[in-house]
A and B are shown apart, each in its own frame.
Chain A
Amino acid sequence: MGTKTLERVSAMPAPTWHSLKMNDATVEIDEALAPARDIAIETDAELGGADAFDAALDAAQADWDAEFGDAPVLANYEDEQANRLGGLALSEYQKGVDAAEASKSLRAMYEQGMGEEAARWLAEMAGERTSLNVAASKACSASVLVRGIDASVNTAALDVIVDDGATLELAITVDSPVPGYGITGTTLRIFAGKNAHVTVRRVQTLDDSWTDLDDMGLFLSNGATIEIFQTVLGAGHTYTGLAGDLRGKGSTANVTTHYLGHGEQELDFNYVLRHHGRKTTCNLYANGVLAGESSKVLRGTIDLIRGCKGAQGQETDNVLLVDEAVKNKTVPTILCNEDDVAGNHGATIGHIREEQLFYLASRGLSREDAEGMFVSATLEDAWLNAANEDAKQAIVRLGNTIVEDFEEAYL
């Protein structure tokens, strides 16, 4: 058995310098790992198959065609003034966006955060897709438990279709309750109908011998809100990719990520949120601690596409580096092709300052104690904010392996 390689996973839409080696990720997969397909789902939503998402997207296409089908495509090459001067020098990214916009196909423009190949592989490993369907104006909840199974790939392919005015609270826990080695993952396609509200809380607490792949794609109709809370506390290798199409007027996507890197863990995050609709809003907020020799890459792209007047995008990554050996790369990117918009980005990356260290020392904490406190505090905060008992137990299990007497001392 050899190794399968997924190339160009979680690629940035508009690449940065190649020498930075952060435009995308490469995922190595041991082909000896067998699909496990052991996923536990509890929900009061209606369960269905793969067709529901496609049907929802087709319905959204019909609505969109009725409103915008005859409208001219507002693409870069349509700039008449530039055309008279010989045309714009477009980047590969701009050409790609123009082609997608010209297709007027919501399906062609819909994307998954980790990219097509990774999403397809995750779905293949999962076997069949399961859909959680929430009828218009209903409120439902669901919990999904993905456990690491030794020598296996255990993934879930989930579609979430929340109809107009409906609400869904979805909690996903990814844990490794027994020792082993393998891959876990989820690939989600989330459709939020008009004024629908979807909340997803995903907590990952794998031991270091595991790799986790977290892939999501979002579609938002008029007035819809999707809130994603990702808590990444474990796994030797973590890949998180999220892409969203803020298609509907006044739709909102809020993505909050808390992460903890320790030991030799490698964390990779990719976010792409594309504003098509007017007065759309997105907030990407990441906050984490890197300890030991861990490393992290975060790519955050907010794409303000021509026509999304009144849109607002905000992205922030605050990372605390508590050891000298950690590595962090953060690229917050705002792509803007529309005048009447607001896009803000920022990153705060820093070590513990000397005055902070002295303050902690004056309270009896050595540098080593202080580093341990940041790790414990991240775990404790995750426990306090856990969505359900599965997540709490998973955090306690991992916490006890990282921090001595974690449960007894901190919870």
Chain B
Amino acid sequence: MSEALLSIRGLSAGVDDKQILDTVNLEVPAGEVHVLMGPNGAGKSTLGHVVMGEPTYEMTSGTIEFDGQDITELSPDKRSRAGLFLSFQAPVEIPGVPLTSFLRAIISGREGIDMKRKEFRKRVRALADELEMDRVYLDRELGVGFSGGEKKKVEMLQLLLLQPKLAILDETDSGLDVDALSVVSHGMEAYQRQCNGTLLVITHNTRILEHLDVDRVHVMVKGRVVAEGDASMIADIDANGFEQFEQAASAE
């Protein structure tokens, strides 16, 4: 039994007959910050979605253990309730559902997080303020008419509200301007600080990592984890890109 909070072993997955992930092994111990990097199309986002249990993808081999439990066969809602969180690169819109109603629904029945309505409203307003998010968005339909930056703030708000054991942040920095990036970085720091959170940050951009104390870096190329190392890899990738890893993968 690994001490890792998240343990992915021999995971292969794809969609229809196309394989995207090939025998992926990856471990994230509790309390650490891991980064999954790689060129576009490497399969990073797919890994995040497969770990969360998206039914679009078919797992053809391997296991996923989370917090000492084999979650390979669990539905996404049960994985969430077990303490797993995925921040979406492109959060969906849900017309007809005010953001507050949605937030109320997602904490409902969660031990230690569910709260009375007054406490809930106070908490949500405080989080909106912390994330520099206009409170008027709380009564608007989820995601409808939100800018890209506002959508990412809503993802961070959910992260801080749900306080998951592990958060996978899928390209949370994509499409953000400097100000929004700063708010999102603040959200990630707050999650770590307030919840002793564990992070798996998926990105191909090193900028968002500047404010994080990274423990380990994993590099994915063509659906395989081809290199791992400490935080010093980030500076190397920043300077030299992913070409060295792509060439090594091709040589194999």
Interface residue ranges, A against B (CB under 8 Å): 287, 289, 318, 320, 353-356, 358-366, 369, 372-374, 376-378, 380-381, 384, 408-411
Residue B237 at the chain A interface, CB threshold 8 Å? no
Residue B91 at the chain A interface, CB threshold 8 Å? yes
Residue B242 at the chain A interface, CB threshold 8 Å? no
Asked whether, in the complex, the Cβ of A373 is within 8 Å of the Cβ of B162, the reply is no
Asked whether, in the complex, the Cβ of A376 is within 8 Å of the Cβ of B101, the reply is yes
Known: A377-B96, A381-B101. 16 other contacts (CB 8 A): A355-B92, A358-B54, A358-B76, A359-B88, A359-B94, A360-B94, A361-B76, A362-B52, A362-B79, A363-B102, A363-B162, A364-B110, A373-B101, A380-B98, A408-B116, A410-B104
| Residues of A with C-beta under 8 A to B61 | none
Asked whether, in the complex, the Cβ of B117 is within 8 Å of the Cβ of A408, the reply is yes
A/B interface sample: 22 pairs, CB < 8 A: A289-B96, A320-B95, A320-B96, A354-B55, A356-B94, A358-B55, A358-B56, A360-B77, A361-B77, A362-B76, A362-B85, A362-B88, A363-B102, A363-B158, A369-B108, A372-B105, A373-B101, A376-B101, A377-B101, A377-B102, A410-B104, A410-B117
> What's the minimum C-beta distance from A233 to chain B, rounded to whole angstroms?
14
| Residues of A with C-beta under 8 A to B97 | 373-374, 377
Question: How far apart are the CA atoms of A380 and B138 in the complex, in Å?
Answer: 13
Residue B4 at the chain A interface, CB threshold 8 Å? no
Question: How far apart are the CA atoms of A358 and B50 in the complex, in Å?
Answer: 11
Residue of B nearest to A373 (CB): B105
Output the residue of B55, B76, B88, B91 with the most chain A CB within 10 A: B76
Contact with A along B207-226 (1 / 0, CB 8 A): 00000000000000000000
| Interface size band for B | 20 to 34
| Residues of A with C-beta under 8 A to B81 | 364
> What's the minimum C-beta distance from B47 to chain A, rounded to whole angstroms?
14
Asked whether, in the complex, the Cβ of B106 is within 8 Å of the Cβ of A365, the reply is yes
| Residues of A with C-beta under 8 A to B108 | 369, 409
Output the residue of B53, B56, B97, B116 with the most chain A CB within 10 A: B97
**Interface pairs A-B: 8 shortest CB-CB:** A361-B76, A364-B80, A377-B101, A363-B106, A373-B105, A377-B97, A361-B77, A359-B92
Summed over the interface, the residue pairs from A and B with CB atoms below 8 Å come to a total of: 86
Residue B86 at the chain A interface, CB threshold 8 Å? yes
Asked whether, in the complex, the Cβ of A359 is within 8 Å of the Cβ of B91, the reply is yes
Contact of B75 (CB < 8 Å), options: A289, A361, A377, A380: A361
> What's the minimum C-beta distance from B84 to chain A, rounded to whole angstroms?
8
Question: How far apart are the CA atoms of A376 and B105 in the complex, in Å?
Answer: 9
Question: How far apart are the CA atoms of A365 and B101 in the complex, in Å?
Answer: 13
Residue B139 at the chain A interface, CB threshold 8 Å? yes
Asked whether, in the complex, the Cβ of B52 is within 8 Å of the Cβ of A381, the reply is no
| Residues of B with C-beta under 8 A to A410 | 101, 104, 117
Contact with A along B68-94 (1 / 0, CB 8 A): 000000011101110001101001101
Contact with A along B98-123 (1 / 0, CB 8 A): 10011011101010000011000000
Asked whether, in the complex, the Cβ of B117 is within 8 Å of the Cβ of A362, the reply is no
